[in-house]
Amino acid sequence: MLTAPTHAPGAQLLDPAVLARISSLELRARAVVEGFIQGLHRAPHLGSSTDFAEYRPYVPGDDTRRIDWKVYARSDRYYVKEFEADTNTNLVVFLDVSRSMLYGTKLQYACTLAACLTYFSSLQRDRVGMAMFANGVVDFVPPSAKHLRLVLHSLDHAERNVPKTPANPTRLRPIFQRLSDVVRRRSMVAVISDFYEEPDDVVAAINMLRGRGNDIMALHILEPSERTFPFTESSNFVDLESDEKMPVIPEYLREGYQKVIAEHIATLGKRLVGQGVDYSHFDTSEPMDKALFAYLGARSRIERTQKVG
C-alpha cells in the first residue's frame, strides 16, 4: 500500500503558491509529479505489461508477430503468447470550466491538478484524455498514449473555454451522459469540479459514468473563502453563472452559510464514497499530492480488478 510521505523531497513544489509562480503547465505538472515520485521511493513504471498469462492456438487474423516460435519448434503447432490483459489503462479528466470555476484560483488549481494527473498517468504509459465542460462539453481530447501534450495544451488554454457571459448554471447529468458515450473503454475518470449542484444530482450524474466499469475520482475544488465566507460589508452578491444578484449582510449569513456548505461537502463525500467513487475535497490552498494519491489508489484498484478478472 502506498503511503504519502509527509515531507517528501520536492514536496514544496506541490504547494500551490509555489506552483503558481511556474508559468508552464507542463513544467508545473512535471515538477509536481516527479517530486511526488521521488518521495515514493518506487520505480516510476508501475505497469505490469510483461506479465505472462497463457498460450492459445493461433487463429487466422492474429498478429503473426505474437506467435511464439520456440513453442512451434518444439510442438510444430502455432501458439500465440497471451500477456495479462493490457498493461496500460485510460485516464480521462473531466474538467469543469464553468464560470463558477473562475472564482479565486480555482480554475488555475484545477488545471494544474488535471495536468499533474495526466502527466503522472502518462509516465505510467496510460492513455490520457480530457474533456472540458461548462454548460455543455466545450473541449474533448480522446484518450491516447500520445495525447499528453494535446491535453496539456488544452489545459493551458482552459480559460478560453469558460463561457464569456452568464447563462444557466451547469447541470452535470446531461453532460456526463454524453461523455459516457465517448469514453468507450473502461477508464479512470477524474471529475474535477466545484460541484455546485445538489448531492443527489451529482451522484446521479457520476453514476452515468460508471456504466462501463469506469473508476471515478471526484475531485471537489473549493476556495477557502467559499467555505469560511469571510466577507463583512453588506454587498450585492452576484452569481457568476446566472448573474443573479442578492443583497447579503455577511455577518448574519456567515454562520448559516458555513453550516450549509459543510453539510453539502459532507453529504457529497458520503454519497459518492457510498457509490464507490473516490471523493476528495480540495482546498486551493492545499498541496496537490492528495490528488495524486487518489489517482494511484484508483489505478491499483483497477489493476487488482483486472487480475482477478
Partner 1 sequence: MGILAPAFLAGLLAISIPVIIHMINRERRETIAFPSLMFLRKVPYKSVRRQKLRHLLLLLMRCLAIGIIVASFARPFFDREIAAAPSANDGREVVVLLDRSYSMGLGTRWTRAQAAVRTIAGEIRANDRVSVVAFDATAAQVVEPTASASRVDRVLETLRPGSAPTKFGPAFRMAAQILTASEQSRREIVLVSDFHRVGFTPSDEVSLPLRTTVNTVDVSRGESGDVAVASVAVARQRDGSRVRATVTARVTNLGSDARSVDATLELAGRPADTRAVRVGPRSTAQVVFPAASVSANATRAVVRITRDSQPANDQFFFTIAEDAGASALIIEPPGARANQSLFATRAWAVADDPAVRVDVRSSTAVTPADLRGRSLIVINEAELPAGAFGEEVRRLVREGAILLVAPGERVSLGLTPEWRAELPASVGPASDRAGRWASVDFSNALFEPFKTSRADFSSVTLSRYRALNVVNGGAIIARLDGGAPLIVERAMGDGRILMWALSLDANWTDAPFHPLWVPLLHQLARRSIAGSEVRSWFTAPHVLDLSREGSVLVESPSGVRTRISPDSAPRSVELRERGFYEVRTGSVAIGAGRPVAVNVDLSESDQSHFDPAELVAAVTARGERSAARGNDAVFEGTAQEMERRQAVWWYLLFGAVLLLAGETMFSNRLSRRAVKQPPAAINEGARDAA
Interface residues with partner 1 (CB under 8 A) are: 99-106, 169, 194, 196, 223-226, 230-242, 244-249, 251-253, 256-257, 260-261, 264
| Closer residue to partner 1 in complex, CB, 170/214 | 170
Reference 115, options 163, 146, 158; nearest CA is 158
Q: Which residue bears the cell 492456438?
A: 57
Contacts of 38 (CB under 8 A, 6+ apart): 8, 9, 10
| Closer residue to partner 1 in complex, CB, 101/172 | 101
CB 28, min distance to partner 1, A: 18
CB 215, min distance to partner 1, A: 28
CB 193, min distance to partner 1, A: 11
| Closer residue to partner 1 in complex, CB, 61/230 | 230
| Closer residue to partner 1 in complex, CB, 49/285 | 285
CB 233, min distance to partner 1, A: 6
CA dist 304 → 75, 85, 143, 301 (Å): 34, 12, 22, 5
Contacts of 32 (CB under 8 A, 6+ apart): 13, 14, 19, 112, 116, 119, 288, 289, 292
Helix (H) or strand (E) holding 220: strand 215-222
CB 273, min distance to partner 1, A: 21
| Closer residue to partner 1 in complex, CB, 81/254 | 254
